[in-house]
A = this chain, B = another copy of it.
Amino acid sequence: MSTHTESKVNQFVTLIELGTILNSSLQPHEVRKRAMQAATSLMNCEVGSLLLIDQEKNELFFEVALGEKGDVVKEVRLKMGEGIAGWVAEHGLPLMVPDVTIDPRHSVRVDEKSGFTTKNVLCVPVRVKQKVIGVLQAINKLSSESFIKSDLELFQLLANQVAIAIDNATLYEEIRSAFLEVAEALAQSIEKRDPYTGGHTKRVLAFGVAIARYLNLSDDEIEKLKIAAILHDIGKIGIEDKILRKKHKLTEEEYKEMQKHPLIGAEIIGHIKQLKDVIPGMRYHHERADGKGYPEGLNGADIPLIARIISVADTYDAMTTTRPYHSALTESEAIAELKRCAGLQFDNAVVDAFIHAFENGDIQTGIGSNAHLISNHAKPLYR
C-alpha cells in the first residue's frame, strides 16, 4: 500500500471511529462538543467548530470551540451570510479557502469577535433532512500549507454524521422534555384543585435539584429525582375536594384519608416499567428518619435517598408559604425548624445539603404563581 492510500484508509478508520463516538450520545450538548473534537482531530487543524443556525433570528452561533485557543471563545453570533461560515450556511455549499486574506467572503470582524486569527479554512454545510441546520468548520491546517480537495470530501462525510447525531439528540431531548413538561403540567393542574396552592411542585423540584447537587448525585439520579419531585403529590387526585380544600384543621379520619396520597400516586404510575426507579421517591416522601412517618414507618437509611430529599424540599416549601390557618415562617425560622428536626423527621445529610444550598443562594423561597399556598400533608411538623 502506498503511503497516500494507507493514510486514506487510516482517515476512513478514524472517521468511522468518530462517527461511533458522535452517535454514542443523545445529549445535544455532548454531541456538539464531540463534533468540535472530531472536526479538529480528523482535519488535523488548530481549531474545529460547529456553528448552528438560530432559525428565529436568522443568525449563526458558535456553541463551543475546542483546540488550542478554543476554550477562550464565548458564544459568538454571526448574521446569516456574514463571513465564510455565514456564506456556507446561506448557500448550502462547501467552501475551501487556502488564504483568507485574499477572499472577500472572509470577515475580519468574525475573528475580532472570537479573538482568533484565521489563516485558512475548510467549511461544509450540516444538513438534516435536506435542510441546512449549521456548518462545520476546520481552521488553520497544522501539518501543511492548507486543506486539500480530499480533506473536503472527508470533512463532508463527517458533517453528515454530525447532522444525524445532532438530529437524534434533538429528537430525544424534545421528547424527554415533553415528557417532563406534561408530567409537570398535570401535576400543576392537580395542585390547582386546591385554591391555596400554586407553584409548589415547581419549587419542590427546584429545591430537590439544589439539594441533590450538594450531595453529588449523578445526572441519572438527578433525572429520577426530578420525575419523582414532579409527581410526588399526584396521588392527591384521589383525595376528595372536601378534604383537599378544607380550610380548617383536618379531623383524624380526614387526615388518614389524606395520608393515602403517596400510595395512590405510586399506584397510578406503578405499572409503567420505565418509571420503576421513580416510584420509591414518591411513595416514601412522607417517611421520617425516626420511623414515625407514613405509609410504612421506614427508618433512617431504609428510606430511599430521593424520598429523603423530597421530604426536606416539600416541608421547607410548606413552612415558608402561607396557609389559611397559618402564616408563612420566615426563611430563618424554617431553617431553624429543619435543623431542630434533623435526625427526627429529616435526614441529617440532606438538611446539611439544603442549608449549604440555601447559604449559597440556590434556594428561592416562595416563588410561584400564587402567593397563598397550602400543603396539608406537611402537617405532622405542626401537630
Contact = CB atoms under 8 A, between A and B. Distances in A.
Contacts of A183: 182, 186
Nearest to A275: B178
A16 interface: yes
Given A12-B12, A237-B190, A23 B23 contact: yes
B237 A189 contact: yes
Given A26-B171, A183-B182, A9 B13 contact: no
Contacts of A274: 174-175, 177-178, 181
Contact of A234 (B15, B164, B165, B186): B186
A189 B268 contact: yes
A5 B1 CA distance: 7
A31 to B, nearest CB: 11
Interface in A135-153: none
A342 to B, nearest CB: 34
A178 B181 contact: no
B20 A161 contact: yes
A193 B240 CA distance: 8
Interface string A195-215: 000000000000000000000
A240 B241 contact: yes
A176 interface: yes
B241 A164 contact: no
A268 B160 contact: no
Nearest to A187: B186
A99 B369 CA distance: 73
Contacts of A269: 182, 185
Nearest to A264: B189
Contacts of A177: 274
A189 B272 CA distance: 14
Contacts of A185: 268-269, 271-272
Contacts of A24: 164, 167
Copies of this protein in the complex: 2
A175 B278 CA distance: 14
B5 A192 contact: no
A88 B264 CA distance: 46
Contacts of A237: 186, 189-190, 192-193, 237
A1 B168 CA distance: 37
A238 B189 contact: yes
A14 to B, nearest CB: 11
A255 interface: no
Nearest to A239: B193
B19 A16 contact: yes
Contacts of A175: 172, 175-176, 179, 274
A181 B275 CA distance: 10
Contacts of A19: 16, 19, 23, 161
Contacts of A15: 16
Nearest to A188: B268
B240 A23 contact: no
A23 B31 CA distance: 14
A222 interface: no
A157 interface: yes
Given A20-B164, A175-B179, A181-B271, 7 more contacts: A12-B12, A16-B16, A23-B23, A24-B167, A168-B172, A188-B268, A190-B237
15 contacts: A1-B2, A5-B5, A5-B9, A9-B12, A16-B16, A16-B161, A19-B23, A20-B160, A23-B164, A26-B172, A175-B274, A179-B182, A182-B182, A182-B275, A192-B237
